[in-house]
Amino acid sequence: GLSASIKNISVVESDLTASIVSTTITASVVPNPVFGNARLLLKTSSDLPFKIIIVDVLGKVHKNLFFKNRRDSYLDFSVNELPSGPYFIIVKQGSERTTARFVVEK
């Protein structure tokens, strides 16, 4: 058989505290449907910046926006260059992500 000898072991106890902050993002677009200019309403518990992507129903990216967060914030944007139809606005913040649907009407 195998035998092992262990000498001079010391165990140091330390108090480690880890905190996990759960961030939840909420996003909505007003007015909906949008005729020219829209406002993205954002709520989050994190201070990280937002990455905002506007895509159509086929997944084609139409806009990439970056936004420095102020926790409860809004971002005004124009849809004048977007054709009429449904779109999704994807909001990413750190590892969190949410999606809001809106419609452009001309």
Indicate the domain borders of the chain. 35-104
Q: pLDDT tens-digit profile of 73-101?
A: 888 999 999 999 999 999 998 888 999 99
Burial call 29-61: b when 16+ CB within 10 Å, e when fewer: beeeebeeebebebebebeeebebbbeeeeeee
User: Does domain 35-104 match CATH 3.40.109.10?
Assistant: no
Torsion of Cα atoms, 27 then 33 then 39 then 41, to 10°? -20
Tens digit of each residue's pLDDT (9 = 90 or more) over 6-51: 555 556 555 555 555 556 888 999 999 999 999 999 888 888 888 9
Q: What is the pTM for the complete model shown?
A: 0.73
* CA proximity to 63, closest of 71, 53, 73, 72: 53
CA angle 66, 24, 95 (to 5 degrees): 55
